[in-house]
Amino acid sequence: MSARGTGARGAALFALRRGLHGLVVLWAAYTLSFLILSALPGDPVTIMLGAAGQAAGTPEQVAALRAEHGLDRPLALQYLVQLGGIVRGDLGTSYTSGQPVASLIAAAVPTTVELAVWTLLFALLGGGALALTASASRSPRLRGLLAALPGLGASLPTFFTGLVLLQVVAFRLRLIPALGAHGFAGVVLPALTLALPIGAIVAQVLFRALESAWDQQFITTYRAAGLSRPRLLLAHALPVAALPLLSIAGVLAGQLLGGAVVVETVFTRNGLGRLAQTAVANQDIPTVQGIVVLCAAVFVLVNLAADLLYPLVDARTRPAADPRARRTPLRRSRGRTAPQQPAVLQEARP
Amino acid sequence: MSTTAPSTAGSSQAVPSPAATASPAPASAAADGIPAAAVAADAHGSHTAPARLPPARWLSRLPRPSAGTLLAATVLVLALSWALAPSAFAPGNPLLGQPRERLQAPGLAHWFGTDHLGRDVYTRTVHGAAVSLGTTALAVLAAFDIGSAAGATAATAGGVAESLIMRTVDVAQSIPGLLLSMAVVTALGFGPVAIALAVAASSAPAFARIAHGEVLRWRSSLFVEAARLNGVGAVRTVVRHVLPHAAGPVLALAAVEFGTAILAVSALSFLGYWAPPPQPEWGLLVSEGRDYLASAWWLTALPGLAIAAVALSVNHLARRIGAQRRPA
Amino acid sequence: MSRTAPAPVLELSDLTVAYPAAPAPAVDGAALTARPGRTVALVGESGSGKSSLAAAAAGLSVPGARVRAAVHTVGGVDMRGAGQRAWRAVHGSVLGFVPQDAGTGLNPVRSVAGQLAHTLRTRGARRREAAERAAEALAGVGLEPRLHGRRRPHELSGGQRQRILLALALAGEPRLVIADEPTSALDVTVQRQVLDLLAERTARAGAALVLITHDLGVAADRADDVLVMSGGRIVEAGTAAQVLESPREPYTRRLLAAAPGLDAPRLIAAPRGGPAQPQEPPVLRAAGLVRDFAHGGGSVRAVDGVSLELPRGRTLGIVGESGSGKSTTARLLVGLEPADAGEIELLGAPVTGRRAEAVRLARRVRFVHQDPSASLDPRRSAGDSIAEPLAGFGIGTRAERPARVRALLERVALPADAARRRPGELSGGQRQRVAIARALAVDPEVVVLDEPVSALDVSVQAQILELLAGLQRELGLSYVFISHDLAVVRQIAHDVLVMAQGRVVDAGPTEEVFAAPTAPTTRALLAAVPGRAQRPPSAGPATAAGAAPPGAPASGPPAAGRSHLVPSHPDRSPDPSQPPSRTAAQIGAR
């Protein structure tokens, strides 16, 4: 019913709406972090003086610092000035190093991106392989064992697995130098460490999705049509099961960034996570805030990408110009919408 | 596939719960933690909750605990005993070292070895249980209270209040949990209470989301509609028909979040935000051992193992609770 | 079977299916034979094991199920203990399986033509050939390949989806088709089209058809042979004529007696002295009811100018297909939905939108939901649920309530100890009794029943209908009875409204409307009611007996034959020798 043209326009409108929504989330994330960091008790000037090694500054010093960082202005004004800065790409100046936060972050990003790329590769390959193997195996015992592994991976503290890997691979086996390695040798241990919890999530979500796909009736339909188990898995179960994975892309990105803090600290890599760790240790509010906003931006972008990809993969979420087809978004479905005939109406009969 | 009910039962196949067949919500909807989402999705679906029975019959209905469950329960009981009566398990002083016995490998005299000041690592681990578990419990309790109150309020109030609360939850979940905690630590300063509140801040949104979803879900159930037709007032309906149903999944989430919170608390203290240092917290113990990684593996490995064992046990039991709530 | 019968394509004997967790086997010693060109109907209520039998026969049992048989051949090949590989050789080519489409029978993320073509390719077809054959297969089930083929399952209607499942099962030109409740989720008119298609295609291919159904009418219309299943056993087997017209087994008789046909005895007394006393105003009157729903960007008029009158002590049936607005009308009547226009009058006084009025309406006009397992709080005992309106409307003291609950339980023929049970511990029929007791707790004038029996098995359905009729006689209640099932409505309703697309298209006394339908919708609905079709005379031995004059009461105990399933004289009066004899009192009967 919906002509091609309206479909394309619908998609563009959808993308625009999601993009605007992302901007609003980003602004709100900044506001939230501002509220947490600036409105909660704790005086940044005292912190700065403490960081400089002075137990208590003279009143003149305090006043000078306040003026320098604009902290003598009312909170609302500080908020607006900072927001204006962010829009122009200015994230403020680090309290401790005196450098612009934006350049601190820019210097740290490549290291973290390298870690993230390898981690995702390991996690998707490992987690995907685990889920598929578990789902394909016919022995209940093997399935149970494989299905329990992700839970194990997600329960191990990242710093613990990182240190154990470092201890065994670098110090015991001396396969890789503990510190200062470059290229793949330098990133493989941290990436493996971080891939463990991320891969566990991938495996868990994919396995659950595969299992629920297996339980759906269309599998019986195609079993009866004579398809083999591997074909059923790859041609019918996997396409359905891949969707939940796409929907947690944003969560995975967040987990990656959070995990990077610990992993980069353990392996002393000068990435974003390490920057965040030291910034918090020094109570360097502008840097912390800059990183938080950046993380929110990554989350928003990844989710935006997933939202835009989703309708391509799953037609059920396609925003249609045809109002009759528009029933998928289950959220915000309160209010006056037509009650669907309950599914149990006739299906509950034998 | 093994979970398919016999097709004679019919209902389990013929009437899939809407959540199972509906397309997965768009990406941003799945922003809460994975275990949480999984539990929430699975915890309900059947309207026929098991009836309340006398304790003996209720116990007999539970499946025979597996070896894994027994082991997990044992680990938790041990950890709790350490927390409640540390001196019964390790009579020594966790803060006092014997310089002559520094950096000794694990042995009969020192089960977990000794650190660079000659302090017994086992004693420090046992005495660390109270603060580690206490901080975690505080974090989960705070997150549970704040989160579920906010979520339930949003669902009940509706309108602007609901939008405001739930959009805040969305936004809080757009910041990685650990970074949100770190931001709170930056603002509050270092220490156990700050860490507990920081971890609470990162897990409260998940509680809010579940509580909101549950209350909405049960509020739209037919028996609530029937209660309205029976002349029962709005508040009474919520108390009688909504909260008892909504409580289950939220409590199941609390179990899951406890496992997550143990890891978060120890990670924050590992990163150096625990004060004051001599107090033996588990993450801190691991962190202190880092300098001796090449020579004294036990300083990091054994306290780390304690964290892993407790987290693993909690997660295992939480999953069992989740599975228990799922229709068979 | 006097003629030389062709070799069976499916032969089963002493089939046993057991599941690890279940104490008793789901199928216990069943036998079934299907021959080319013939249709076998396997009839049973839920839990009878008919679906387990079908799955085992098709090699589609869930893993873990233990299947054993003395004989199990498909197309002449011994399938006892066959592995996945052996079954794959049979699936699709020899055996086609049509599952019940509960909306999940097709892969939700692939286009339907793509799914068909992919399946054909796995059988060795090349890409282009597969696409062409998929298009042919779609055309063969009455779909437009270019239009419907590129759609995903959710973009198709239930009937279209079921057609695609047929196309899939028939694509390999199987000699045996097993269809498990292929139309149970469909509206009655669509059901008829799909069954016609299935019968036509299997007949043309000369294939054997095994049709699993809970609907005796469907079996009577379509089957040459009928097997009746109960508790995992085949309790009766024979030609359709033998089984449905002169059943030997008590179970079959009960099933037949409970199955509402359009000629089944009505449960209501004929109106005394002509139409209701004109001087008395109707208990409930509605005029010009309108209800719009926001849908997508615009709005949809779910109810469009519905007017009705309900005299005291009578039942008004509202029938229609899903989406016709009948349920929304019911919800407007009890104030669950606000009307966008129109007025409701209760006992001669108009009901306005004010809160006090809403309470008055809610108390006087009670509502019974379709599915009692959803409308009763699973955590509350039955007694609690029944007492809820007493507390809600502040009737009586707390101390008086247990006695009142006991009286109500007795009224709906439940034992007093049911008060302490939770819905999960009660059967479906018992749960609906509790819901009815709850509706009666505050002595209402009118009860609006929204599909009150459609979630129940046919024998339980009959018991609930009798209970409702009895309560009406005793208490002088008035009912608004919503149903998609014309046979049920005919049994219980004095007057009937037929709805389509939000409007009333036909109305009047039930007998008159059913005998002389004026609206096309009514005619289509009536024509599609299963149990009325006449098979072509050459269909098999069953017709020999089927041609016997209907209506002639079978000898022996209360006639429970198939008589009401075959068209007969519309004016045949209810058989007085057939009182509602089944007492509804046995708790735990199911």
pLDDT for residue C279: 63
pLDDT for residue A41: 63
Q: Which of B13, B48, B231 sits opposite C423 (nearest CB)?
A: B48
CA distances (Å), A185 to each of A175, A260, A269, B293, C426, in order?
9, 17, 13, 19, 65
Cα separation, C505 vs C480, in Å, equals 17
Q: How close does chain A come to C2, measured CA to CA in Å?
A: 34
B241: contact with C, CB 8 A cutoff? yes
Query: In this structure, is residue C252 part of a structural domain?
Result: no
Q: Which of B219, A222, B237, B57 is nearest to C99 (CA)?
A: A222
Q: Which of A160, A289, A302 sits opposite B308 (nearest CB)?
A: A160
pLDDT for residue C297: 67
Question: CB C152 to CB A240 under 8 A?
Answer: no
pLDDT for residue A129: 94
Residues in chain A with CB shorter than 8 Å from the CB of B22 are 328, 330
Question: CB B34 to CB A201 under 8 A?
Answer: yes
B22: contact with C, CB 8 A cutoff? no
pLDDT for residue C101: 66
According to DSSP, residue B294 is labeled T
Instruction: pLDDT band for C583, please (50, 70, 90 cuts).
Output: very low
Q: What is the pLDDT of residues B33-77, one digit of tens each?
A: 333 333 333 333 333 334 444 445 555 555 667 888 899 999 999
Which of B1, B2, B4, B8 has the highest number of chain C CBs within 10 A, making it the mutation to test binding with C?
Answer: B8
Joined together, the tokens standing for residue C183 give 């139309």
Cα separation, C460 vs C426, in Å, equals 13
Question: CB A295 to CB B2 under 8 A?
Answer: no
Which residue of chain A comes nearest to B266, CA vs CA? A157
Helices B67-84 and B121-157, axial angle in degrees (round to 10): 100
Instruction: pLDDT band for C425, please (50, 70, 90 cuts).
Output: confident
Secondary structure (3-state) at B215: helix
Shared domain check, A279 and A245 = yes
Shared domain check, A290 and A180 = yes
Residues in chain C with CB shorter than 8 Å from the CB of A239 are 107, 109-110
Shared domain check, A166 and A26 = no
Question: CB A235 to CB C95 under 8 A?
Answer: no
Which residue of chain B comes nearest to C355, CA vs CA? B231
- CATH of residue A299's domain is 1.10.3720.10
Give the list of residues 6+ apart from residue A24 with CB closer than 8 angstroms, or none.
none
Task: Tell me the residue range of the domain where A71 lies.
Answer: 17-87
Q: How close does chain A come to C89, measured CA to CA in Å?
A: 7
Query: Looking at this protein, which amino acid is placed at residue A275?
Result: L
Residue C546 has pLDDT above 90, yes or no: no
Q: Which residue has the tokens 């760790």?
A: A277
Residues in chain B with CB shorter than 8 Å from the CB of A330 are 22, 25
Neighbours of chain B (3+ CB pairs under 8 A): A, C
Compute how many other C-beta atoms are within 10 angstroms of the C-beta atom of residue A228.
15
Residue C549 has pLDDT above 60, yes or no: no
Cis preceding linkage at B54, omega within 30: no
DSSP string covering C334-347: TTSS--SEEEEEET
Query: In this structure, is residue C31 part of a structural domain?
Result: no
Which residue of chain B comes nearest to C230, CA vs CA? B8
Instruction: pLDDT band for B30, please (50, 70, 90 cuts).
Output: very low
A212: contact with C, CB 8 A cutoff? no
Q: Which of B1, B23, B244 sits opposite C62 (nearest CB)?
A: B1
Shared domain check, A109 and A83 = no
Opening angle at CA A137, ends A133 and A142, nearest 5: 95
Cα separation, B210 vs B287, in Å, equals 34
Query: Looking at this protein, which amino acid is placed at residue C443?
Result: D
A187: contact with B, CB 8 A cutoff? no
pLDDT for residue A341: 26
Average pLDDT on B266-283 reads 84
Cα separation, B94 vs B96, in Å, equals 6
Q: Which of B6, B51, B232 sits opposite C22 (nearest CB)?
A: B6
Query: In this structure, is residue C466 part of a structural domain?
Result: no
Query: In this structure, is residue A11 part of a structural domain?
Result: no
Residue C584 has pLDDT above 50, yes or no: no
Question: CB B232 to CB C391 under 8 A?
Answer: yes
Residue at which a domain ends, from C385, C419, C443:
C443
Query: In this structure, is residue C469 part of a structural domain?
Result: no
Query: In this structure, is residue A134 part of a structural domain?
Result: yes
Q: Please say whether the beta carbons of C289 and C301 come within 8 A.
A: no
pLDDT for residue C383: 93
Which of C46, C379, C431 has the highest number of chain B CBs within 10 A, making it the mutation to test binding with B?
Answer: C379
β pairing state of C341-346 and C71-74: unpaired
Shared domain check, A62 and A107 = no
Shared domain check, A204 and A81 = no
Q: Which of A160, A214, A251 sits opposite B30 (nearest CB)?
A: A251
Compute how many other C-beta atoms are within 10 angstroms of the C-beta atom of residue C248.
11
Query: In this structure, is residue A41 part of a structural domain?
Result: yes
Average pLDDT on B185-193 reads 88
Cα separation, C401 vs C147, in Å, equals 62
Shared domain check, A296 and A268 = yes
Shared domain check, A146 and A82 = no
Query: In this structure, is residue A96 part of a structural domain?
Result: no
pLDDT for residue A297: 92
Cα separation, A118 vs C567, in Å, equals 74
Q: How many CB pairs under 8 A join B and C?
A: 115
Shared domain check, A67 and A43 = yes
Shared domain check, A255 and A170 = yes
Which residue of chain B comes nearest to A255, CA vs CA? B176
Q: Which of A221, A236, A336 sits opposite C168 (nearest CB)?
A: A221
Shared domain check, A83 and A105 = no
pLDDT for residue B48: 36
More confident residue, C483 or C125: C483
CATH numbers and ranges of domains, chain B? 78-325 (1.10.3720.10)
Residue at which a domain ends, from C420, C443, C466:
C443
β pairing state of C95-98 and C77-78: unpaired
Residue at which a domain ends, from A87, A120, A140:
A87
More confident residue, A9 or C225: C225
Which of A49-63, B7-21, B142-156, C168-182 is predicted with the least confidence, judged by mean pLDDT? B7-21
Q: Please say whether the beta carbons of A260 and A112 come within 8 A.
A: yes
Query: Looking at this protein, which amino acid is placed at residue C55?
Result: A
pLDDT for residue A158: 92
pLDDT for residue C543: 32
Residue at which a domain ends, from A87, A119, A143:
A87
Task: Tell me the residue range of the domain where C120 lies.
Answer: 103-173
Instruction: Calculate what percentage of chain B has a pLDDT beyond 90.
Output: 34
Q: What is the pLDDT of residues B118-176, one digit of tens each?
A: 788 888 889 889 899 999 999 999 999 999 999 999 998 888 999 999 999 988 988 99
Cα separation, C369 vs C376, in Å, equals 9
Alpha carbons within 13 angstroms on the beta-carbon side of residue A331 total 14
Residues of chain A with pLDDT under 50: 1-5, 318-350
Alpha carbons within 13 angstroms on the beta-carbon side of residue B154 total 25
Does this model's pTM top 0.80?
no
CA B31 to chain centre: 17
pLDDT for residue A121: 95
H-helix or E-strand spanning residue C47: none
Q: What is the pLDDT of residues B200-256, one digit of tens each?
A: 999 999 999 999 999 998 988 899 999 988 989 888 898 899 999 998 889 989 998
Query: In this structure, is residue C226 part of a structural domain?
Result: no
Query: In this structure, is residue C407 part of a structural domain?
Result: yes
pLDDT for residue C532: 58
Question: CB B245 to CB C423 under 8 A?
Answer: no
Cα separation, B290 vs B294, in Å, equals 9
Residues in chain C with CB shorter than 8 Å from the CB of B222 are 369, 371, 374-375
Residue C541 has pLDDT above 50, yes or no: no
A194: contact with B, CB 8 A cutoff? no
Domain count for chain C, please give it.
2
Q: Please say whether the beta carbons of B72 and B317 come within 8 A.
A: yes
Q: What is the pLDDT of residues B314-323, one digit of tens each?
A: 998 988 887 7
Secondary structure (3-state) at C511: helix
Residue B264 has pLDDT above 90, yes or no: yes
Domain count for chain A, please give it.
2
Query: In this structure, is residue A5 part of a structural domain?
Result: no
Question: CB A280 to CB B182 under 8 A?
Answer: yes
Residue at which a domain ends, from C150, C173, C196:
C173
Q: What is the pLDDT of residues C488-517, one digit of tens each?
A: 899 999 999 999 999 999 999 998 998 888
Burial (CB count within 10 angstroms: exposed 0-12, middle 13-18, buried 19+), residue B248: middle
B322: contact with A, CB 8 A cutoff? no
Q: Please say whether the beta carbons of C284 and C330 come within 8 A.
A: no
pLDDT for residue B100: 81
Question: CB C421 to CB B50 under 8 A?
Answer: no
Residue C1 has pLDDT above 60, yes or no: no
Cα separation, A186 vs A238, in Å, equals 34
Shared domain check, A80 and A164 = no
Neighbours of chain C (3+ CB pairs under 8 A): A, B
Q: What is the pLDDT of residues C431-457, one digit of tens each?
A: 999 999 999 999 999 999 999 988 888
Cis preceding linkage at B276, omega within 30: yes
Which of A160, A164, A337 has the highest number of chain B CBs within 10 A, making it the mutation to test binding with B?
Answer: A160
Q: Strand C39-44's sheet: what is its strand order?
A: C95-98, C176-180, C208-213, C39-44, C225-230, C233-239
Compute how many other C-beta atoms are within 10 angstroms of the C-beta atom of residue B240.
20
**B residues 147-166 lying closer than 8 A (beta carbon) to A:** 158
Query: In this structure, is residue C364 part of a structural domain?
Result: no
Q: How close does chain B come to C30, measured CA to CA in Å?
A: 15
Query: In this structure, is residue C436 part of a structural domain?
Result: yes
pLDDT for residue C381: 93
